[in-house]
Amino acid sequence: MTLTTKGLATRQRIIQSTAEYLRSNDPGSATLDDIRVVTRTSKGQLFHYFPGGKEQLWLEVARFEADRVLDDQQPYLGALDSWESWEQWRTVLVARYRAQGKNCPLATLMGQVGETGTTEVVTALLQHWEDDVRQGILKLHSAQPRHGGIDAATLAAAFIAGIQGGVSVLRTTGDTAHLEAVLDVLFAALRTSVGTASVRQTRDGGSQV
């Protein structure tokens, strides 16, 4: 379906308004009538922009929330080229999840969009996140080259796995202590790698810096 500029803006407004509503309401119990009211649209408009109905709209909201996870970490996540930027990223990351607490809008939505949609959204989010961290490791090592070798992709994967584990505990306890602990360990590993090694881009033997 090809939309005009106005149509694209209307569709995005519906997604954003729905996201705001679902952050404080159970996606499983919310209906299209609820969304019609909060977005000030008719049922006909909703099905015009989201022919697949509720599941399609929920999937688009999940994509929006996934993008928000990364946007909330900017500009630091996209510019991890110094220790200062890494520390700023860590501060922003912990603050984001402390503010979120036990409530995770994206995780809640995932139970409503089906396995295919869940896999697509989560895989894209984690891959983008991991790529940004990997590029940051490469930039940091380029600025402070050493002899030897360390796999940047493996360390980036460890960062993402560690963050996800810390957030999982947070969703149960409401406490960021485990997230902060794993970041401390990973930052120590990163500092050690910068002090003793140069870097390879991939886990399977990519080029060395």
Q: pTM for the complete prediction?
A: 0.82
Q: Among the residues of the chain, which ranges form H helices?
A: 5-22, 32-39, 43-49, 54-71, 83-100, 105-110, 114-143, 152-173, 177-196
Greater pLDDT, 191 or 144: 191
Query: Within this chain, do residues 75 and 47 fall inside the same structural domain, yes or no?
Result: no
- Residue 150 confidence (pLDDT): 64
C-alpha dihedral (187, 138, 169, 102), degrees to nearest 10: 110
- Give the residue numbers spanning the domain of 93: 66-196
Any domain includes 25 = yes
Instruction: Judge whether 176 lies within some domain.
Output: yes
Same domain, 99 and 184: yes
Q: Which amino acid is at 177?
A: A
Q: Is the residue at 148 inside a domain?
A: yes
- pLDDT classification of 63: cutoffs 50, 70, 90: very high
pLDDT at 40: 92
Residue 151 lies in a domain: yes
Percentage of the residues of the chain whose pLDDT score is greater than 90? 65
Residue 33 lies in a domain: yes
* Residue 206 neighbours by CB under 8 Å, 6+ apart: 153, 200
